[in-house]
Structure 1
Amino acid sequence: MRRYCVSCIRNWYPHLKEDGIFESCPVCRGNCNCVACLRSDVLVKEMKRKAKTKEDEHVEFSVYLLQTLLPHLRLLDEEQMIENETEAKIQGISISELRVKEAVYSKDERVYCDNCKTSIFDYHRSCTLCTFDLCLSCCRELRSGQLLGEEVINKRVNQTESNDVTEPVVREWSRFGWHAESNGRIPCPKVSDECNHGFLELRSVLGQNFLTDLLCKANELAQRHELGTLDNFCTCSRLDRKTDVRYHGMRKAASRAYSSDNYLYCPRAVQPQDEDLGHFRWHWKNGEPVIVSHAIDSTTGLSWEPSVMSRALCQIAKSRHPQHLDMKAIDCLDFCEVQIKIDEFFTGYKEGRVDCLGRPRMLKLKDWPSTNLLEECLPRHCAEFISSLPFKEYTDPYGGCLNLAVKLPEECLKPDLGPKTYIAYGFLHELGCGDSVTKLHCDMSDAVNVLTHIAEVKLEVTGIENLKEKQLEQDQGDGSDGAVWDIFRRQDVPKLQEYLRKHFREFSHIHCRPLKQVIHPIHDQTFYLTVEHKRKLKEEYGIEPWTFIQKLGEAVFIPAGCPHQVRNLKSCNKVAMDFVSPESVGVCFGLTEEFRTLPINHGCAEDKLEVKKMTVYAMQDVIRKLERARLADKGSVKV
């Protein structure tokens, strides 16, 4: 039997009345905030069990995956066929005589190219004398004399330290004078006791004919199934939207002239129908963000108050006074790391903090919880978050039939796709410097971000000259407003990059110092475009982002390849998770190529997603399920 005192009810369940708890206690409601319940992993285990034991998805989902992934599988196979021809030429034999050696790697090992850091999923070249590995893209570029990417960044600002530092990342080998021979053979660039003039030999992780055989089976299934095409329009594209910004579940987010994508699809997460998934898919394949309102309304109501989450985590700490433990935070004024007590940070989350000059002090947590897996440290919140996600065919990390990340075999090393928490202070008005922001960046995969909690802080600010008293007293907006988002279209990225390169000296980052160099305008994650910069961007280049306010309980879907930035209007607790949709595979392929050209010590240079591996295993899974469905139709026993 559970008992709750009045003090605990007021402290941990402020949204519940005493009479309500008398009728149904928090345990019965499924939202008990005691440490034991918060640390329970029963619901997460049940989600995984259901994902493993549920029947195969509808055939139409597998057919859709087949249709969407087939062109990408053909490209991967074509790349390998070209390398087979080159290897046969090097050995002076015919392709039919070629035997590609198998690379010995365990499935839980992540293999990277030693030159560009991109992941290797199958074909690659490996030194005959040492452990040097080279991906096919680098092989192709080396033979053409156009090996992309820089050696190192001459000077890089480390975003986790308080001082500028030079990071001299030195390779064990030099690219100077490294060339392929006339027949295509590539020497190993290493010159050491371990290796002295070895050559790079073609190797395969999956097997010489694995990809070709997979493609043949996929082509046969494609001929057997009638692969249709998606509609070139949706019903909302024909609506008259001049009268109401929320007309028919649409939200106005841009004012581009002669554009049909100024409105974003904004359904309500209440018993979504099958047509909603098709509607979502239409906008998603066009690279448009989607905003789903009331995403957390159907959950148990577990508290996302940061202090409640901290309560569960502090139980782990080996301290009798966990409230005094230090945690890492980022000061948004100079983007330097600071140490702060847990209780001090969360007091500021509710009540706000002001610096010595009377300006609001904006802090955001860095790496909290310290582990990247919410499932391990806050399993109850993890289960609550996953249960809140709309369009689970795409977002479910355990059983989403259209989430390619789910298709990796159990024994494979999985990429870290979350969920992760993002907790930060906020302020309604844009300060221009010191705002609580996530700077402009572009994720390698698709993402969904849910605003789970907000706290409105009343601050007496005296040190902001550019905010007049009338401005501070004006309408504070909707009480559910949490964060303002700017998401750029994929097709506008070249112009966006051009603008940032042109104006980069007008932006500041570490220690509020003006930027001195730009390696990549988006992947550096050092820019935030203020209202003024967005105005200039539209004036000079004719582009603008989708801009909208994320309200409490809303889930924002961000397509891969769309640069975006966020500014918190209130103290916010957001939870985000990445996923890989079939519609975004081509974009993810392109981003992988983009990241591999960055300097080796750039924070985004490493390919952590391994989307090519996901694509291959997803297609293997599709073929298995369609073959099983065919046998079932014939009345055969399931295999």
Structure 2
Amino acid sequence: MRLQSKTGLKGYLGYLHERRERNGEGNKELLLGKGRGRGRGRPRGRPPKIVVAVDQSVLKDVCKVKKLKQSGESFLQDGSCINVAPHLHKCRECRLVRYRKFKDHDESTVSCRFFHFRKLAFTRTGVLRVGGFLNPKQCDTEALSLWIPSRTPAEGLDLETSKYILANVGDQFCQLVMSEKEAMQLVEPHQQLAWKRAVRGIREMCDACETTLFNIHWVCRKCGFGVCLDCYRMRKSRPPIGKVFSWLKCAKGQAHEPENLMPTQIIPSTALYDIGDMVHATRGKWGIKANCPCISKQLKPLPKPATGEDCNVNMSGSSINNVSFTTDDDTVSTTSSLKDGTLSSADTTSALHWLADLATQKAKEEKKGKGGLPNFLDHIIASVVENKMSSDTSKKQGVMEMSVLDPNTQHCWLCDGRLLCLQDPSNKNNWKIFRECWKQGQPVLVSGVHKKLNTALWKPEAFSREFGDQEVDLVNCRNCAIISDVKVRDFWDGFEVISKRLKSEEGQPMVLKLKDWPPGEDFRDMMPTRFDDLMNNLPLPEYTKRNGRLNLASRLPNYFVRPDLGPKMYNAYGLITTEDRKVGTTNLHLDVSDAVNVMVYVGVPIGENNHEDEVMKTIEEGDVDDVTKKRIHKSKEKPGALWHIYAAKDAEKIRELLRKVSEEQGQDNPPDHDPIHDQSWYLDQTLRKRLYEEYSVQGWAIVQFLGDAVFIPAGAPHQVHNLYSCIKVAEDFVSPEHVKHCFRLTQEFRHLSNTHTNHEDKLQVKNIIYHAVKDAVGTRLYRRSEMWRNCSVT
């Protein structure tokens, strides 16, 4: 296919997007009855929150059925197994639908595992049979457009941000590509690769470990049972004797054997590998330092998986590289067969040579990347942050140096110069200093957020008045006992009045926290005014807003199930007594994503004793620095909670200590449990001292005052001890700087037992990485096409 040069960007990406109708004609036997459900994202099997629209099945059209019977052509299953093919093998979802209370037709259709995946055909006698499955060469442009750069620039993504994303996420993307290529080595020569198109509002998950299926996986042809690469590889290599795999059974109780499963990919055609080529070329063009597996391991490049044959114009334009373009003078072919990634002199004279260069050029030598701040400033700031200065004098000099460099950003340093505290949450330049500390894996504090909030919305009496009759579960912070089926008013009435608190069996007021309230993803629906008040005033909006340019979660298309990133409320009484210092409001744990936690209300309880002295002793024993203590004595600020946060790199040392202590106490350490992920430990003063003396691990002791926002890096172990009654609200986000931790933690969580809340991969970090990188390279494509178009006009 040849396109005229005047089409500009349409000459490349526009070509792929505008062939939709023609590709539909080319694959008419597969696209009859085509229709995509439109619904709010949710895991399989859950009732939709809005109506899902699904077109009428082709089998309802008498004329089309007659033609299909005459021709014997195959067509896509465009409905649930029950509605379309009740006499054929049913998928797992359709087999279970009879046991569900919710039996909406549209829901069962889009939840069906064979929907728009399995092909059907009529025999000569008019009986419906299975006609195989889609394969990668049968993708259409509509499906491909989800996985390639858009012909228009991604919303909120400028050139500098795109460079920064590629600099931080490019290596993880290359790791993804290498993993997928290695997965292809497990496909037997006689096996044909199937293609399962993404279904709107459905998150495909491994049936063995509940990890989100990114691309290559293995599927049962009879029931749609699917397992990820890791589970397949583990099962195929055979476990040690005595180890039991809990794979679900197939129809009639038959076991699923690896050799009987069908290799399947989700990303159409070679889009993944083509984007990989673009990443290398773009990083080379932009001079971005790369340390990806392709380079560091010096691996011989693996061939792109064959899809049977190249996709031509009639077959959906599924290969990004294999497209030819024509200008008035000469032709440029962007095929991947160019040797050594070079172009001939004739090619380079073309007005579109940049496209071929982008698609095929290997990454150049590593160069120093360009940041948003001047290079000399980056260097100085990084030195101040990274270097462990031995004396207080040198620390103070570092702080002064930072202040001189950025006098317009009001800030101070806590934790003896190791913790950045930004003091103006509205300052638009906050992100510059924040980024330098954040990329070192350090937490950051932002004070004064409460001054921007509508304080009346966040008072306990407001929650009691509006939601008092709701039934909730409470947790006794002292013994972790669950108190079920109580009115939420009972919790809020005792928030600041000890005499009104629920009593224990011994008749003592309990220290309680609300368990999962508001439940699940209901915060926005249940409290829309508070949601807007919070989201409009979160500091560092570049990171924390849902559409923030440095929040990679915003790059995930709406087509996918959006990860639940909050907000989530944390409401609990304060732990006041001497014995309470050994327990936490929230025990030591870590999260797969970054988070910001805002203290929106601090309630000092009335009744019995004045607890100020006890609070100060807790702060003193909590290893808090002198500057923080001055916030209490001199500034008269309200302290709410004591945090201890540790660097993500120190997580394994913390595990070693806790396992050692467990053994000393005669406790077991089961292999499918983890001392951090179990959230069963609180590091008191004794344990923190041992951690420092035996492992040289020092964390950040942070007192969160009213209005303070604590930024916690992904993978950083942390714990919280409420000093007074606190209302905190947290929002998660995915920053470019910490994607590597998200990536690693997703693998860690696979090995946890099914009882862990973190066992399921809800973040979909691989999908987030893919689409962030796709959008970033798309920015360069668009910019170069605009440059070319401007040149052609002049």
CA distance, structure 1, for counterparts of residue 725 and residue 398 of structure 2? 27
CA distance, structure 2, for counterparts of residue 435 and residue 245 of structure 1? 36
CA distance, structure 1, for counterparts of residue 453 and residue 569 of structure 2? 18
CA contact (8 A) 1:126 1:133 kept: yes
Helix, strand or coil for the counterpart of 1:422?
strand
Correspondent of 1:351 among 497, 504, 509: 497
What does residue 649 of structure 2 align with? 491
Pairing 1:417-496 to 2, within 5 Å after superposition:
417-432=565-580, 435=583, 437-460=585-608, 478-496=636-654
What does residue 121 of structure 1 align with? 214
Pairing 1:64-75 to 2, within 5 Å after superposition:
64-75=164-175
Helix, strand or coil for the counterpart of 1:86?
coil
What does residue 564 of structure 1 align with? 718
Once superposed, what is the RMSD of the aligned Cα atoms? 3.6
CA contact (8 A) 1:149 1:597 kept: no
What letter matches 1:251 in structure 2? W
Correspondent of 2:476 among 302, 313, 331: 331
CA distance, structure 2, for counterparts of residue 149 and residue 346 of structure 1? 51
CA distance, structure 1, for counterparts of residue 438 and residue 743 of structure 2? 17
> Please, what TM-score do these two structures have when normalized by structure 1?
0.73
CA contact (8 A) 2:713 2:738 kept: yes
Given the superposition, is the C-alpha separation of residues 536 and 430 from structure 1 closer, same or farther in structure 2, using an over 3 Å criterion?
A: farther
CA distance, structure 1, for counterparts of residue 599 and residue 153 of structure 2? 31
What letter matches 1:133 in structure 2? G
What does residue 25 of structure 2 align with? none
CA distance, structure 1, for counterparts of residue 244 and residue 567 of structure 2? 34
CA contact (8 A) 1:373 1:419 kept: no
Correspondent of 1:280 among 397, 409, 434: 434
What does residue 361 of structure 1 align with? 510
CA contact (8 A) 2:575 2:585 kept: no
Correspondent of 2:661 among 494, 503, 509: 503
Pick the structure with greater CA Rg: 2
Deviation at residue 434 of structure 1 after TM alignment: 8.2
Given the superposition, is the C-alpha separation of residues 556 and 246 from structure 1 closer, same or farther in structure 2, using an over 3 Å criterion?
A: farther
What does residue 523 of structure 2 align with? 374
What does residue 265 of structure 1 align with? 420
CA contact (8 A) 2:154 2:778 kept: no
Correspondent of 2:487 among 321, 335, 341: 341
CA contact (8 A) 1:445 1:588 kept: yes
Helix, strand or coil for the counterpart of 2:599?
strand
CA distance, structure 2, for counterparts of residue 440 and residue 396 of structure 1? 26
Correspondent of 2:536 among 387, 399, 420: 387
What letter matches 1:401 in structure 2? R
Percent identity between matched residues is 31
What letter matches 2:737 in structure 1? E
Helix, strand or coil for the counterpart of 2:272?
helix
Deviation at residue 325 of structure 1 after TM alignment: 4.4
What does residue 562 of structure 2 align with? 414
Deviation at residue 559 of structure 1 after TM alignment: 0.5
Given the superposition, is the C-alpha separation of residues 362 and 244 from structure 1 closer, same or farther in structure 2, using an over 3 Å criterion?
A: farther
CA distance, structure 2, for counterparts of residue 590 and residue 441 of structure 1? 16
What does residue 580 of structure 1 align with? 734
Given the superposition, is the C-alpha separation of residues 222 and 491 from structure 1 closer, same or farther in structure 2, using an over 3 Å criterion?
A: closer
What does residue 110 of structure 1 align with? 203
What does residue 274 of structure 2 align with? 213
Given the superposition, is the C-alpha separation of residues 196 and 77 from structure 1 closer, same or farther in structure 2, using an over 3 Å criterion?
A: closer
Given the superposition, is the C-alpha separation of residues 292 and 208 from structure 1 closer, same or farther in structure 2, using an over 3 Å criterion?
A: same
CA contact (8 A) 2:644 2:718 kept: yes
CA contact (8 A) 2:207 2:247 kept: no
CA contact (8 A) 1:150 1:599 kept: no
Deviation at residue 602 of structure 1 after TM alignment: 3.3
Helix, strand or coil for the counterpart of 1:208?
coil
Asked if 1:81 is matched to 2:181, the reply is yes
CA contact (8 A) 1:291 1:557 kept: yes
Deviation at residue 381 of structure 1 after TM alignment: 0.7
Correspondent of 1:91 among 177, 185, 189: 189
* Residues 170-207 of structure 1: per-residue CA shift (max 9 Å, x gap): 6535xxxxxxxxxxxxxxxx584566756122111112
CA distance, structure 2, for counterparts of residue 70 and residue 549 of structure 1? 36
What does residue 252 of structure 1 align with? 414
Given the superposition, is the C-alpha separation of residues 137 and 468 from structure 1 closer, same or farther in structure 2, using an over 3 Å criterion?
A: closer
Larger relative contact order (Cα-Cα within 8 Å, sequence gap ≥ 6): 1
What letter matches 1:344 in structure 2? D
User: 5+ residue gaps in structure 2?
Assistant: 1-151, 289-367, 372-377, 404-410, 621-628
Asked if 1:619 is matched to 2:773, the reply is yes
* Residues 545-575 of structure 1: per-residue CA shift (max 9 Å, x gap): 2111011111111001111000000110000
Deviation at residue 623 of structure 1 after TM alignment: 2.6
CA distance, structure 2, for counterparts of residue 311 and residue 151 of structure 1? 52
Correspondent of 2:158 among 31, 51, 58: 58
CA contact (8 A) 2:502 2:509 kept: yes
Given the superposition, is the C-alpha separation of residues 172 and 86 from structure 1 closer, same or farther in structure 2, using an over 3 Å criterion?
A: closer
Correspondent of 1:631 among 785, 788, 793: 785
Correspondent of 2:261 among 200, 220, 223: 200
CA distance, structure 1, for counterparts of residue 398 and residue 682 of structure 2? 27
What letter matches 1:66 in structure 2? L
What does residue 130 of structure 1 align with? 223
CA distance, structure 2, for counterparts of residue 414 and residue 55 of structure 1? 17
CA contact (8 A) 2:248 2:256 kept: no
Helix, strand or coil for the counterpart of 1:444?
coil
Helix, strand or coil for the counterpart of 1:499?
helix
> Please, what TM-score do these two structures have when normalized by structure 2?
0.59
Given the superposition, is the C-alpha separation of residues 620 and 277 from structure 1 closer, same or farther in structure 2, using an over 3 Å criterion?
A: same
Given the superposition, is the C-alpha separation of residues 171 and 100 from structure 1 closer, same or farther in structure 2, using an over 3 Å criterion?
A: closer
CA distance, structure 2, for counterparts of residue 344 and residue 59 of structure 1? 53
Helix, strand or coil for the counterpart of 1:602?
coil
Given the superposition, is the C-alpha separation of residues 401 and 115 from structure 1 closer, same or farther in structure 2, using an over 3 Å criterion?
A: same
What letter matches 2:280 in structure 1? N
CA distance, structure 1, for counterparts of residue 732 and residue 638 of structure 2? 25
Deviation at residue 104 of structure 1 after TM alignment: 4.5
CA contact (8 A) 1:446 1:581 kept: yes
Given the superposition, is the C-alpha separation of residues 220 and 544 from structure 1 closer, same or farther in structure 2, using an over 3 Å criterion?
A: closer
* Residues 576-604 of structure 1: per-residue CA shift (max 9 Å, x gap): 01111111111111101111112234332
Helix, strand or coil for the counterpart of 1:485?
strand
Given the superposition, is the C-alpha separation of residues 522 and 149 from structure 1 closer, same or farther in structure 2, using an over 3 Å criterion?
A: farther
CA distance, structure 1, for counterparts of residue 399 and residue 446 of structure 2? 13
Given the superposition, is the C-alpha separation of residues 118 and 430 from structure 1 closer, same or farther in structure 2, using an over 3 Å criterion?
A: farther
CA contact (8 A) 1:429 1:569 kept: no
Pairing 1:594-613 to 2, within 5 Å after superposition:
594-613=748-767
Asked if 1:223 is matched to 2:321, the reply is no
What does residue 23 of structure 1 align with? none
What letter matches 1:487 in structure 2? I
Deviation at residue 148 of structure 1 after TM alignment: 13
What letter matches 2:545 in structure 1? D
CA contact (8 A) 1:129 1:195 kept: no
* Residues 5-62 of structure 1: per-residue CA shift (max 9 Å, x gap): xxxxxxxxxxxxxxxxxxxxxxxxxxxxxxxxxxxxxxxxxxxxxxx99964331001
Deviation at residue 438 of structure 1 after TM alignment: 0.4
Given the superposition, is the C-alpha separation of residues 559 and 108 from structure 1 closer, same or farther in structure 2, using an over 3 Å criterion?
A: same
CA distance, structure 1, for counterparts of residue 169 and residue 617 of structure 2? 52
* Residues 105-139 of structure 1: per-residue CA shift (max 9 Å, x gap): 51321112222221101111112333221211233
CA contact (8 A) 2:645 2:699 kept: yes
Tell me whether 377-386 or 528-537 shows the greater mean CA deviation: 528-537
Correspondent of 1:552 among 690, 702, 706: 706
Given the superposition, is the C-alpha separation of residues 125 and 233 from structure 1 closer, same or farther in structure 2, using an over 3 Å criterion?
A: farther
Given the superposition, is the C-alpha separation of residues 593 and 301 from structure 1 closer, same or farther in structure 2, using an over 3 Å criterion?
A: same
Helix, strand or coil for the counterpart of 1:609?
coil
